[in-house]
Chain A
Amino acid sequence: MTTTTTSPVLTATGVTMRFGGLTAVQSVDLDVHPGEIVGLIGPNGAGKTTFFNCLTGLYIPTEGSVAYEGTVLPPKPHLVTQAGIARTFQNIRLFANMTVLENVLVGRHTRTKEGLWSALLRGPGFKRAEAASKARAMELLEFTGLADKADHLSRNLPYGEQRKLEIARALASDPGLLLLDEPTAGMNPQETRATEELVFAIRDLGTAVLVIEHDMRFIFNLCDRVAVLVQGQKLVEGTSEVVQSDERVIAAYLGTPFEGAPGAEEAAEVEAAEAGASEAGATTGAPQDETQRGTTARTEDGQ
């Protein structure tokens, strides 16, 4: 699937984000090519979401630049979306008191241009644009399977459907690249599989996808390429196999063995943790496990 011949939709070059003395993201380079699904993984606090915020203009990177289809993006969220990068949020940020349809219509904002005057005068152009927006929004709701709930308030949707609606809303801006921030967090295995299907379908529509996720099965099923971010730095980037077998990745997630510790005991521990990791995300306890592992990794790296 990986196509290196085409020019990338997204080129992040040396993106660095510092908050005072803390370097959250340190000179990360990342390319996403058209039709690709790229995963971004890493322990909690590795800087994945910060990196996303740098890409979408919510943060202004301290150093480095982000380019969409060769053009460097200004660090303004609405201009980034207009250029063609849409995103979802880690903690769902729907417009809770708007209907499902209205949420998607807001997503159409950049692809329509009717201003106040045309709204007040209600000319034929306005009506046509409204009807077209509505038709496109319904199409997307159809696509995500929410069409029958178009008139519900988005706050009343069940959790899984709220996640879907966020994706539909992001797709409404006809993006060339979709950034998904933990799209399956808190989902049960069936919902996770459904999301997997949805992401494949989005890719088939011609939209490249960059996805942050903690559910390793989800990531390795889905992604053509996976980048691993640890402590703000990109550790490895490659296919699932490469990443899975990389010792540094395992160390980052699970920590390195203590010197002088009984080998057999350690090995058993690692095995148990691996078994846990393969189920990560499927159980609600997963994020906590992740935290512990992340902390372990960090302390040991510091030594």
Chain B
Amino acid sequence: MTTDKTQPTPVNEAEPGATAPRTTLLRALTAAGGAAAVVSTFLAWTWTAEFPGDLTVYGYPGGLQLLTLVLGIATALFALAALGLKGLRWLTPSGSTQALRMLALGTFAVTWFTVIAIAVDLDGLVNLEPGGWIAAVATAAPVATTFLLPDDTRPLCRPEKLPSWADILIIAGVFALGLYVVNYGIQTDADHPEPFIGYLIAVAFAAVALIKAGLVSRISELTSAYRSTTLVAALITAIVFPFFQDKSSFTELGVNIAIFATVALGLNIVVGLAGLLDLGYVAFLGVGAYTAALVSGSTASTIDVRFPFWAAVITGGVVSLIFGVVIGAPTLRLRGDYLAIVTLGFGEIFRLAMLNLDGTSGPSVTNGPDGIPNIPPLEIFGFNFNDDHSIGGLSLDSNGNYYLLMLLVTIVVVLIFSRAGNSRIGRAWVAIREDETAATAMGINGFRVKLVAFALGATLAGVAGAVWAHFQSTVVPEQYVFAGPVPPNSTFLVAAVILGGMGTIGGPLLGATLLYLIPKKLEFLQDYQLLAFGIALILLMRFRPEGIVPNRRQQLEYHETGQLDVPGATGLKDGAVGVTKAEA
């Protein structure tokens, strides 16, 4: 695209066309290993269908074998691309070895996980058919060969420019693939954890491989070049999601993910942009939910009114806003951790207040621990949300209706986030987060700007809470705790933001999806869920502190060396020296 040449990396690069015969041999062996893994998936790995996924059939891969098959094919293709096969070079724009290692490791991990799971589940290695042994050996070999390969990481080479229809087709294909991958994960058998664990392993290794190969950078170049196309593609992908679900419970997963992702994105304004740690955010969700429930016309409500849905949502948002201002106004004048402590307290006070406003310990408002059940189903313009509907031959059940409604809220919040973030007030938030003293010296009224962020976050949570109350058709105090195994809780939301990537739009959406989906699918962990959750967070913070979807700023903050933001190629040395000097 641009004419300027990127500077060569310090890594000693193998000259193209002059590759050592040893390297060629190793790459060929890797390709053969991948192919062997593919072949092995057509064999039976075990003799009984008791193991989930039915791995007993010759000539047709099934269950976990599919993952080995896909990763095996990918390993073979990338190895062929590394060998310089024409037509495959586009697979590895920034080097093949690291990607090959990840793919080989992924194939190995998935296959060995399957084989070991068969042996453990069915009590003994004897349950493995020869196919299983072949697969185990075939996938171990490429791991060895790829780690003997020299590292050929190079700066992203830009391929020739494709016609724009081809670019758009690629974007569409990427989103279709993404939808398929997410769907595959959601639809894995919930009664057996093995398929989902295998899926997680495969996706994690494949994702790292794609990043190492430079394909992710290529795609993000494309998506930023065709912004509107990408947005439309993302929208279509999100809309068609419920039509692909054959079970209502899968759509329900989708609704919950959409709700928690939206709430996490609202929290991201407070935490990610303005840098205010809110540890009681779930209480604002609760304020919205309770308010909407009280005015919904529920038989259990202590107020005998029935607002239309839009009015209930606005009421929920406004009441949350008022609470946000009441909590924020005295605390945001202070700097430091006071806000975290106050919001933590507010979260607990809210739950306890809802528990005690039951008519015996306090005024009768919330029915105490019973909550407010029987919130009537939504009806907008005669469209009843609890009935099944059929649109153009596609049927949509109750969960599907709510999913689309929630999607609308998500889109609104995404718009608010991006528009507010990229404006005078958004810059003021980031400035306050970066250095409050300097920000006030630049004429920013710190208190006011922080209060706007805090109140906006509270309002968005209130709106999401109002929708959630209608979807659940009941609200109880125990949903709004600080920490617990079931979302939503404040820890879950903060973790979703930090894990996904602070200050980004994609980050909290992805973070909330993962944090909701994984515990749902791994219910066998039960009491150990929180333990696993904690360990996963520690590992992530150790190895990727900027989150899964890094903000360009954060990426630089945590990884000093890369001069990632510099347009074109300017001296890395300058920047490095500047940093050290500034800190000295």
- A contacts with B, residue count (CB < 8 A): 51
Cross-interface CB contact of A122 among B419, B446, B574, cutoff 8 Å: B419
Stretch in B187-195, B213-221, B563-571 with 4+ CB within 8 Å of A: B563-571
Asked if A107 lies at the interface with its beta carbon under 8 angstroms from chain B, I say: yes
- B contacts with A, residue count (CB < 8 A): 41
Asked if A89 lies at the interface with its beta carbon under 8 angstroms from chain B, I say: yes
Q: Which residues on B sit within 8 Å (CB–CB) of A110? A: 442-444
Q: Which residues on A sit within 8 Å (CB–CB) of B575? A: 155-158
Cross-interface CB contact of A156 among B434, B437, B438, B563, cutoff 8 Å: B563
Closest residue on chain A to residue B446 by CB atoms: A78
Chain B 408-446 per-residue mask, 1 if CB under 8 angstroms from chain A, else 0: 000000011001100111111011001101111111111
Q: Which residues on B sit within 8 Å (CB–CB) of A153? A: 553, 556, 565
Contacting pair B579 A114 (CB below 8 A): no
Q: Which residues on A sit within 8 Å (CB–CB) of B434? A: 95-98
Q: Which residues on A sit within 8 Å (CB–CB) of B554? A: 97
Chain A 67-98 per-residue mask, 1 if CB under 8 angstroms from chain B, else 0: 00000000011100110001101001111111
Contacting pair B582 A105 (CB below 8 A): no
Asked if A115 lies at the interface with its beta carbon under 8 angstroms from chain B, I say: yes
Asked if B530 lies at the interface with its beta carbon under 8 angstroms from chain A, I say: no
Q: List 22 A-B contacts (CB under 8 A).
A: A76-B440, A77-B440, A78-B445, A93-B435, A93-B438, A95-B438, A95-B439, A96-B434, A97-B554, A97-B556, A105-B427, A106-B428, A108-B424, A109-B431, A110-B442, A112-B424, A152-B565, A153-B565, A155-B578, A156-B556, A157-B575, A158-B577
Closest-CB distance, A17 to chain B (whole angstroms)? 17
Told that A82-B443, A115-B425, A120-B416 touch, could you supply 10 new A-B pairs with CB distance under 8 A? A81-B441, A86-B441, A86-B442, A95-B438, A97-B430, A109-B442, A120-B420, A129-B424, A172-B442, A173-B442
Interface set of B (CB-CB < 8 Å, partner A): 415-416, 419-420, 423-428, 430-431, 434-435, 437-446, 452, 456, 553-554, 556-557, 563, 565-567, 574-575, 577-579, 581-582
Q: Which residues on A sit within 8 Å (CB–CB) of B416? A: 120
Report the bound CA distance from A172 to B452 in whole Å: 24
Closest-CB distance, A140 to chain B (whole angstroms)? 13
Closest-CB distance, A100 to chain B (whole angstroms)? 11
Report the bound CA distance from A145 to B438 in whole Å: 22
Contacting pair B442 A152 (CB below 8 A): no
Chain A-chain B contacts (Cβ-Cβ < 8 Å), number = 144
Report the bound CA distance from A115 to B415 in whole Å: 16
Contacting pair A186 B581 (CB below 8 A): yes
Asked if A213 lies at the interface with its beta carbon under 8 angstroms from chain B, I say: no
Report the bound CA distance from A173 to B438 in whole Å: 13
Closest-CB distance, B437 to chain A (whole angstroms)? 7
Contacting pair B425 A116 (CB below 8 A): yes
Asked if A151 lies at the interface with its beta carbon under 8 angstroms from chain B, I say: yes
Closest residue on chain A to residue B567 by CB atoms: A151
Closest-CB distance, B4 to chain A (whole angstroms)? 14
Cross-interface CB contact of B578 among A112, A114, A159, cutoff 8 Å: A159
Given A98-B434, A120-B420: A106 in contact with B556 (beta carbons within 8 A)? no
- Per the 8 Å Cβ criterion, residues 150-185 of A in contact with B are 151-153, 155-159, 161-162, 169-170, 172-173
Asked if A231 lies at the interface with its beta carbon under 8 angstroms from chain B, I say: no
Given A92-B582, A119-B424, A173-B443: A152 in contact with B566 (beta carbons within 8 A)? yes
Asked if A102 lies at the interface with its beta carbon under 8 angstroms from chain B, I say: yes
Q: Which residues on B sit within 8 Å (CB–CB) of A129? A: 424
Contacting pair B443 A109 (CB below 8 A): yes
Asked if A233 lies at the interface with its beta carbon under 8 angstroms from chain B, I say: no
Contacting pair A162 B582 (CB below 8 A): yes
